[in-house]
Amino acid sequence: MKLRFDYNNMMEDSIGKEGIKESAFDKNAAAVAAAQKSVLDNRGKGWQEWCDLPFAPSAEIDELISYCGKIGKKAESFVVLGIGGSALGPLSVASSLLHLHHNELPKDKRKAPKLYVEDNVDPERMASLIDVLDLKTAYFNVVTKSGETSETLSQFLILYSMLKRELGKEEAKKHIIVTTTIGKGTLYDVAAKEGFKIYGVGKGVGGRFSVLSPVGLVAFAALGLDVKAMLAGAAAAAKSAEETDIRRNPALLTAFLQVEAMKAGKNVSVLMPYADSLKYMADFYCQLWAESLGKAEDLDGKTVHVGQTPAKALGVTDQHSQVQLYTEGPFDKVVTFLAVDEFRTTVVINDDKEVAACDFLKGHTLNELINAERKATEFALKKANRMNYTIYLPSVTEETIGELLMYFMYQTAFAGAMLNIDTFNQPGVEEGKKATFAMLGRAGYESKLAEVNAAVHKPEYIIG
């Protein structure tokens, strides 16, 4: 693996009684080994098909790279329509690997289509998207694993009608790729009937674990990213998840540290990248950690209400916003830093002789400054006895991003197994989806509508 992990500041040795005792490793060794075994034994089965994604048959990957690569060459804009796991993977990875102002770059410098990941159904956002798209050169990946999600289906209906009006039906069809479960769901039926290009999401690949399936790969190939290097990085993380020595298995180790932290009342997990390119990785992590671990019942049917609230922060920006709370507020957080050794560029702070001040900054680089600030925050947290650990990426590349994604997914799976919960379901999300269907009058949801309407809002508790 290329990533490095420094967990000194999770331990009692470093932060005193707020830290984890060295003896916790021996005390919990059997439970940790059982959790690891249950995850590894289920690779490729049930809801753990995501474990196999880095090892997808090369013919499938080659076809996807070739087809989507050609689309990417023709496209001025590539639009992902999806929400939750169908959007955050493509968004976080593309944001990590593209120029930070990719869409604003002039065409000759951009070398890949503009990217839009449209997850929300805010009408102003849709209208704004339509304002900036030239439909003749816009291509769409409509992503919904279930094929039933109201947000994505609405976006599809709006844009497909516009495409047909503008380009005619036969041409419009060529602008749409559908990524969904083959043979199941409303979108699959429509796509098969209309003759869209379809990519499958494996039955056992849940939304938040799907980034390395066509849910993410279609966009990555269209953008000319190195899909194979990403899968190779993910494969390296999958290999390291097999390591039985916890000290050599970062996903198992940090799952264990987080679960121990939860037991000690650390109910908040902050992911704080010190790199703008990794800003949306925090969104990816937040969904993965929240939806997977926030559960009411354990696998034995016992009411547990477990989970750890994920929060996102950006270094250094949030040093001037959140860090005061992290160092002096309640002892309820674990902060995970994402650090980058080598940025893709170096920017020198000019040694401007005419400005007779700021001498301590002159001649240094922003690279030095951002990493010094990260170390300074880490030091401040340690001094205040706050749990934190750092994940180092040597640089942000397809390979290290693939590794990071797979590490996060294994970490989550191991933590879920340690908590004895179903990591892969999301009954709370499904409830909201059903209530939306009911309120929009979908057939078959009449009793759900009655239930929703029965939730009375008393006027005495409403102001204005």
**Could you list the active site residues?**
291, 320, 433
Number of residues that bind ligand PA5 (CB under 6 A): 15
Binding to ligand PA5 by residue 206, rule CB under 6 A? yes
> Which of 19, 85, 233, 402 contacts ligand PA5 by CB under 6 A?
85
145 versus 266: smaller Cβ distance to ligand PA5: 145
> Which of 9, 140, 170, 16 has the alpha carbon at shortest distance from 79?
140
Binding to ligand PA5 by residue 310, rule CB under 6 A? no
Q: Closest residue to ligand PA5, Cβ-based?
A: 207
> Which of 99, 96, 92 has the alpha carbon at shortest distance from 396?
96
Query: How far is the C-alpha of 104 from the C-alpha of 112, rounded, in Å?
Result: 12
Binding to ligand PA5 by residue 83, rule CB under 6 A? yes
Binding to ligand PA5 by residue 402, rule CB under 6 A? no
Within 13 Å and on the Cβ side, how many CA atoms surround 281?
32
Tell the smallest beta-carbon distance from residue 287 to ligand PA5 (Å): 6
Binding to ligand PA5 by residue 426, rule CB under 6 A? yes
Tell the smallest beta-carbon distance from residue 208 to ligand PA5 (Å): 4
> Which of 86, 254, 322, 397 contacts ligand PA5 by CB under 6 A?
86
> Which of 216, 248, 251 has the alpha carbon at shortest distance from 230?
216
Binding to ligand PA5 by residue 372, rule CB under 6 A? no
The answer to whether residues 225 and 68 touch, using CB atoms and an 8 Å cutoff, is no
Q: 432 is written with which tokens?
A: 């909201």
Binders of ligand PA5 among 128-147, rule CB under 6 A?
144-146
146 versus 397: smaller Cβ distance to ligand PA5: 146
36 versus 149: smaller Cβ distance to ligand PA5: 149
Tell the smallest beta-carbon distance from residue 91 to ligand PA5 (Å): 12
> Which of 152, 269, 319, 371 contacts ligand PA5 by CB under 6 A?
152
265 versus 444: smaller Cβ distance to ligand PA5: 444
Q: Using CB under 6 A, list all residues that contact ligand PA5.
A: 83-86, 144-146, 149, 152, 206-208, 291, 426, 429
